Amino acid sequence: MADQSVSAGGATGIQAPGGPGYDVQPPAGYGHPGGAPLPSGKATASMVLGIVGLLLIPIIPPIIALCLGISARRMADRGEGGGRGQATAGMVMGIIGTAFAALGVVVATLMALSVI
Q: pLDDT of 34-63, one tens digit each?
A: 677 889 999 999 999 999 999 998 889 999
Query: Where are the alpha helices (H) located in 6-80, listed in sequence order?
Result: 41-55, 61-78
Distance CA 90, CA 78 (A): 18
Q: What is the pLDDT of residue 62?
A: 96
pLDDT at 13 over 60: no
pLDDT in tens, 20-42: 655 666 566 555 566 778 899 99
R_g of the chain, CA atoms, integer Å? 29
Q: What is the pLDDT of residue 58?
A: 87
pTM over 0.85: no
Q: What is the pLDDT of residue 42?
A: 95
Distance CA 64, CA 113 (A): 30
Cβ neighbours for 75, distance < 8 A, ≥ 6 positions apart: 40, 42, 81, 87
pLDDT at 101 over 80: yes
